[in-house]
A and B are shown apart, each in its own frame.
Chain A
Amino acid sequence: MSSVFFMLTMGLYFVSTVCYLAYLLRRAETLSKVSLGITAVGFATHTVALVARMTDTGQAQLPTFHEALSFFSWMLILVFLAVEFRRQLHVLGSFIVPLALVSLVTAAAFRSDEASSLQPVFKTLWVHVTLSMLGTVGFAVAFVAGVMYLIQDGLLKSKRFNVLYAKLPALDYLDHLNQQSIVMGFPLLTLGIISGAFSAEIVRGTYVNWNPEQTWAMVTWGFYFAVLVGRLTIGWRAKRAAYLTIIGFAGVILTLIGVVLKSHGSVS
């Protein structure tokens, strides 16, 4: 059942992505309502798919890359719906929904239906994956806010008052969204890394063994730490913060790719 709902969700997010991208180019506001509706239905089917996946195997199974990405996509949409609900920021959907779709499609590529037995260690692994992914959602939203900031900044600087200009929100709101996302994401990632170290200790007896993807993760963590501290102390905000969070998210993606290449399915 899970796979049916999963495919359905992918279809819905695809349609919604198309609508949201068309919305960027069109003056009419009606398209955003249609897109939002489709996204909300997709979110519901996705929730069903996730729950079904958990119960399909009787008990929680080994967290795979598929689960992690699917959960990431789900959280991303949840955050979007929350922001949309509070601020009616329709245009955010044009940036977040495509991202959610990409991660869902990637998740589909790594889907396997073989249930593996759950050893006690994987409970801490679940905590590690969940927290890391929540942190990543924060960075993803910061990334999206950064991209939107740079676009709006560019439009204002070049005085191109087009449809996109009209739809994007004020610069300082985007900067605020960027900051909030990192303030939320960073502690979650920190906890994710700590729990990862604990599970590594259980499996391998060492907390850290400095393999490439662990090193990348630490570099990414250090980078976001610097971004956060820089913002709070020496005014790394606005355009600079936008650039930094885009670079940071690229680092996150690289880490994830490293994890996949190494483990081919299961996250360690």
Chain B
Amino acid sequence: MHVIVVGLSHKTAPVEIREKLAVPESRLREALSRLCSYPGVREGLLLSTCNRVEVYAVVEELETGYGRVQEFLADTHLSLSSEHLTPHLYWHAGDRAIGHLFRVASSLDSMIVGESQILGQIKDAFEVALTHKASGLLLNKIVKKAISVAKRVRTETKISETAVSVSYAAVELAKKIFSNLTEKTVLLIGAGEMAKLAARHLIANGVRQVRITTRNFQHGLELAQRFNGTAVPFEDYKAELAEADIVLVSTGASHYLVTADDVQRAMRQRMSRPMFLIDISVPRNIDPAVRPIDDAFLFDIDDLHMRVEQNREDRLREAAKAEQMVVEEVAVLGQWLQSLEVTPTIVALRSRADELKRREVDKILARLAHLSSEDRAAVEALASAIVNKMVHGTMVTLKAEARSSSGAAYVDAARRFFNLEETPAVYPPGQVDVSELPDENIAGNGVGHLPEASLVQHTSKEQGRRVS
């Protein structure tokens, strides 16, 4: 069994391809059941966002599994063919597939590193896969782990802490001037998109007083209603300056609407209470001569961009820490996956049974010292017979189910029933075949093949085709 991911993202495919592959929510269910209907595909999860389309699946055979999933992707849109898609796709299996999901969930692979939307999208995709029973034992565990890894990354690094949009950078700066935005008044001069967005962020951060002035008073009134603020006639905006703690300017005017004199006058009336001026217009609407005025802090679009750029760099630094966490977590999950291999489980079960038998036989023989050697042999034979009969059924079932869709669940159950959790695999998986094990006590040794490769093994194909 192999965990694989096949997909494409903003890093490998242009939007023209992504939009074709994207599966709308209404068709997710149908797509999932189509995916799981391919032979050899045991579990599936479909992650479709505007920046990526990825299929996570548990497949029986690696090569054919990759082929099936690729086929599935090509079939999602009529105009797409496999050849068309191949240059944009990436393939990962085992640890790499799991690591990829962890990185995606932690927003390390996002267009804006550290954005938080992707985690919600993964949760939604998982929800759909769960309700349609496309996700089973393996994917459930992996996706849940991915969600917890993402949360760990968010709390233990500063990856999502800083503003990476110009409009939000304005809020971040405002918070370095005013510790509490609740009592502050915002004056919006003009209503460019970015200014409106910034105003919305400020309101979300506590600002209650919003005053809006636009050349078209009617438009101002509409906006005022939307922001729960007051509209001010455009002619009066200079008089409003003294009352405004935060001034957001974005108009199409080609000259300075706010001059140094205006600000100086306002500052006198404000008795030196600080004022934060943001000029998002190009050409600029606030005279740069405002900058040297005490207690007035002017930031233009370039300043905000610079702030955003710095924050991006900070995020990338934090991302390096997060990558390390992902590596650790993949290793932890890898151990669990390895334990689901049939061969080591049977070996562990066998040795656990032998160990139990040995202990009990030694105990009883120590007490029955008077027994003859034949009697001792008989006691031992009795113990062996009981123990072997006890574990026999389990072993046969494990072998028989090894290739079935619920094989991993049986292995998991067996490990729990016989308390094999702590027992490390005696042989490295993939090196030992059950047929080589001491088997004389197991009747009816008619078992199918065991999975030949470990879940965490990578094939040359994957290495060759991987798109980084």
Which residues of A approach B to under 8 Å, CB–CB? 152, 156-157, 159, 161, 165, 168-173, 176, 234-240
Cα distance A236–B291 in the bound complex, in angstroms: 20
A-side interface mostly = helix
Nearest opposing residue in chain B for A87, CB measure: B179
Measured between beta carbons, the chain B residues less than 8 angstroms from A165 are 176
14 residue pairs A–B, Cβ–Cβ below 8 Å: A157-B297, A159-B299, A170-B175, A171-B176, A171-B178, A172-B180, A234-B271, A235-B271, A235-B273, A237-B271, A237-B273, A239-B272, A239-B294, A239-B295
Nearest opposing residue in chain A for B292, CB measure: A157
Measured between beta carbons, the chain B residues less than 8 angstroms from A170 are 175-179
Whether B2 sits at the interface, judged by CB under 8 Å, is: no
Measured between beta carbons, the chain B residues less than 8 angstroms from A152 are 176
Question: Are B175 and A161 in touch, CB under 8 angstroms?
Answer: no
Nearest opposing residue in chain A for B268, CB measure: A235
Measured between beta carbons, the chain A residues less than 8 angstroms from B180 are 172
Nearest opposing residue in chain A for B162, CB measure: A166
Question: Are B310 and A161 in touch, CB under 8 angstroms?
Answer: yes
Question: Are B273 and A238 in touch, CB under 8 angstroms?
Answer: yes
Measured between beta carbons, the chain B residues less than 8 angstroms from A169 are 179
Nearest opposing residue in chain B for A173, CB measure: B179
Whether B451 sits at the interface, judged by CB under 8 Å, is: no
Measured between beta carbons, the chain B residues less than 8 angstroms from A240 are 272, 294
The A-B contact count (CB < 8 A) is 51
- Known pairs A157-B291, A172-B178, A240-B272 / 18 extra A-B pairs, C-beta < 8 Å: A159-B306, A161-B306, A170-B177, A170-B178, A171-B178, A171-B274, A172-B177, A172-B179, A172-B180, A234-B271, A235-B272, A236-B272, A237-B272, A237-B273, A238-B274, A239-B272, A239-B294, A240-B294
Whether B303 sits at the interface, judged by CB under 8 Å, is: yes
Question: Are B295 and A238 in touch, CB under 8 angstroms?
Answer: yes
Nearest opposing residue in chain B for A234, CB measure: B271
Cα distance A123–B178 in the bound complex, in angstroms: 46
Question: Closest Cβ of chain A: how far from B313's Cβ, in Å?
Answer: 11
Cα distance A168–B175 in the bound complex, in angstroms: 11
Nearest opposing residue in chain A for B317, CB measure: A27
Whether B211 sits at the interface, judged by CB under 8 Å, is: no
Is the interface on chain B under 10, 10 to 19, 20 to 34, or 35 or more residues? 20 to 34
- Scan B173-211; emit 1 where CB is below 8 A from any A CB, else 0: 101111110000000000000000000000000000000
Measured between beta carbons, the chain B residues less than 8 angstroms from A172 are 177-180, 274
Whether B307 sits at the interface, judged by CB under 8 Å, is: yes
Cα distance A211–B306 in the bound complex, in angstroms: 57
Measured between beta carbons, the chain B residues less than 8 angstroms from A173 are 179
Question: Closest Cβ of chain B: how far from A236's Cβ, in Å?
Answer: 7
Measured between beta carbons, the chain A residues less than 8 angstroms from B178 are 170-172
Cα distance A236–B270 in the bound complex, in angstroms: 11
Measured between beta carbons, the chain A residues less than 8 angstroms from B310 are 161
Measured between beta carbons, the chain A residues less than 8 angstroms from B295 are 238-239
Cα distance A159–B294 in the bound complex, in angstroms: 15
Central interface residue in B173, B175, B177, by most chain A CB within 10 Å: B177
Nearest opposing residue in chain A for B184, CB measure: A172
Question: Closest Cβ of chain B: how far from A24's Cβ, in Å?
Answer: 17
Cα distance A236–B272 in the bound complex, in angstroms: 7
Among B26-53, those with CB < 8 Å from A are: none
Cα distance A159–B306 in the bound complex, in angstroms: 9
Question: Are B272 and A171 in touch, CB under 8 angstroms?
Answer: no
Cα distance A76–B179 in the bound complex, in angstroms: 24
Central interface residue in B178, B270, B272, B306, by most chain A CB within 10 Å: B272
